[in-house]
Amino acid sequence: MSSPCRVFKTGNHAVKLITVLQNDFRSSAEKPPPKPLLVSTPCEEDEFPVLIFLHGFVLYNSFYSQLLQHISSHGFIVVAPQLYTIAGPDCSEEISDAAKTTDWLIKGLAHVLPNNVRPNFSKVAIAGHSRGGKVAFALALGYAKPSLTFSALMAVDPVDGMDKGKQTNPPILTYIPHSFELKMAALVIGSGLGGLKKNLFFPPCAPEGVSHQSFFDECKAPACHLVAKDYGHLDVLDDETKGIRGKATYCLCAKGKAREPMRNFVGGVMVAFMRAYLDGNMEDLWTLRDDPEHAIPIVVSIACFKE
């Protein structure tokens, strides 16, 4: 019997987590980023691919620190902007700000990285969770025009509104199969409990009709869809999320027994996908495709690959 794929465990790179604030840039020669950033990077002298990761609705980028470090430990620089602290239903501004942040990276990212760590801007991926997944799709579909070219798109339990017919502006889903005109491979990760209500007072965090299945249905090949059967919409977050918003994450959505298994699953799948479509190394991704029951350390209810 085979064992779980190595991508679900911490990688071989030592990792540094860097908070980048706009007032850190006092020199007129260095332009601050459009938004505060959380950067997770390998520490060794080398050149690494870049992942831009967009947080979910009214969440903090710091809530994803363990996920970002897992990904970085496998050899990726991860940049997570704090797009807003308060937001309404319209995410047009988030799309614009995510594009502006992407543009800033070209000249600005090197200034915040450890010495001799170099970003490889020929290998860039865009990803997001929840509403951030919708924004990632929007960028990949050309709703904004960042200067960098994305080679891979990843969405973790993406959400396009409250329900079918109640999409937030701008609506991304068209409900026409294979209608997304993407110029890159797409990965959609879903949560099996995301469509369930936590209680009578709150709606599902990832309602059916505007979440992962609908996004995947509109993707053309190459695309992957994996769903964690026994985990919820927010189980990708850090084990401990502090403050009022952090405490709210424990009671808003249906959830699994622990966050770590879901977080390691998401991080591992993202690493396998980026190795495939940024580095051209398909081995780990095909292992997940060919033997999901043994290669993936949690139960998945869907493991679908469009090739």
| Cis, bond preceding 170 (omega within 30 deg of 0) | yes
Fold (topology level) of 6-306: Rossmann fold (3.40.50)
Where in 33-184 does DSSP place strands (E)?
A: 37-42, 46-54, 77-81, 117-129, 152-156
pLDDT at site 1: 43
| Residues 152-193: tens digit of each pLDDT | 999 999 999 998 889 999 999 999 999 999 999 999 999 999
**Is 130 designated active site?**
yes
What residues contact 208, with CB distance under 8 A and at least 6 apart? 195
> Catalytic residue among 62, 72, 129, 157, which?
157
- Note the pTM of the prediction, 2 decimals: 0.96
Of the listed 40, 65, 73, 130, which one is catalytic?
130
Q: Mark whether 214 is an active-site residue.
A: no
Please report, in angstroms and rounded to a whole number, the separation of the first and last CA atoms in the chain: 26
pLDDT in tens for each of the 307 residues of the chain?
457 899 999 999 999 999 999 887 776 567 899 999 999 999 999 999 999 999 999 999 999 999 999 999 999 999 999 999 888 889 999 999 999 999 999 999 999 999 999 999 999 999 999 999 999 999 999 999 999 999 999 999 999 999 888 999 999 999 999 999 999 999 999 999 999 998 777 889 999 999 999 999 999 999 999 999 999 999 999 999 999 999 999 999 999 999 999 999 999 999 999 999 999 999 999 999 999 999 999 999 999 999 8
CB 109 within 8 A of CB 37: no
Options 55, 70, 74, 233, the catalytic residue? 233
- Residue 212 appears among annotated catalytic residues: no
Q: Look-up: residue for tokens 């952090």?
A: 246
Helix (H, G, I), strand (E, B) or coil at 74: coil
Residue found under tokens 């891979």: 152
Which DSSP state fits 46? E
Distance of alpha carbon 171 from alpha carbon 138, whole angstroms: 9
- HSE-up (13 A, CA, CB side) for residue 40: 24
